[in-house]
Amino acid sequence: MPEVTGPAPAAPGACWRIRLPRATAAVPVARALVRNALGEVDPAATDQPDLDTAELLTAELVANAVEHTSGDGPIELVIELLAAPGGCQIEVHDPDPARPGRLVCPDPEDEVDPWQEHGRGLLLIRALSSDCGHRPTPDGKAVWFTLPRVPAQRSRRRA
């Protein structure tokens, strides 16, 4: 069962920190947590992050942490609502200090194998987020992305 600390985010500056088991079952749990956290945003706010994109990119980060990192410790999901200019930042902390795969733009000269089954997660994160990266932490590393706020007429909210 995930351990949740902190208030439910409802206003810019709010932050959730959720410990998840380092297991594949953490992926759908993380998606649901992001959906619930961003769904708690003040309904009077006209601009909010895109919920579908936040869920997709969170699933990619959590799946990568589960599949490609060493260590037995849990992972931590951090969801933060940003004040000005708005949007959100989502991080996944894991116990492995090794750098993640390429979070920088790929070399345009590199050919992409259309039949490859893996390796598109970081590409999605680079393409769909407004910013992304990684940093060392005292217990491993954090891999993160930010999403901008989306004007109300373009955002799609689930009921």
pLDDT tens across 87-134, in order?
899 999 999 888 876 555 555 566 666 655 566 677 888 889 999 999
Give mean pLDDT, residues 72-76. Answer: 89
CA–CA gap between residue 16 and residue 21 (Å, rounded): 16
CATH of the domain at 99: 3.30.565.10
Give mean pLDDT, residues 28-44. Answer: 84
Q: Are 22 and 73 in contact, with CB atoms under 8 Å apart?
A: yes
Instruction: Name the packing angle between helices 51-68 and 121-128 (round to 10°).
Output: 150
Would 75 be classed as within a structural domain? yes
Which structural domain, as residue segments, surrounds residue 35?
Answer: 3-103+118-128+135-150
What are φ and ψ of residue 83, in 5° steps?
-75, -135
For residue 38, the model assigns a pLDDT of 87
Model confidence at 47, in pLDDT bands (50, 70, 90)? low
Between 6-15, 34-43, 45-54, 136-145, the lowest mean confidence (pLDDT) is in 6-15
Number of domains the chain is built from: 1
* pLDDT score of 82 more than 70: yes
For residue 7, the model assigns a pLDDT of 43
Would 159 be classed as within a structural domain? no
Instruction: Name the packing angle between helices 26-39 and 51-68 (round to 10°).
Output: 150
Q: Are 34 and 4 in contact, with CB atoms under 8 Å apart?
A: no
Would 156 be classed as within a structural domain? no
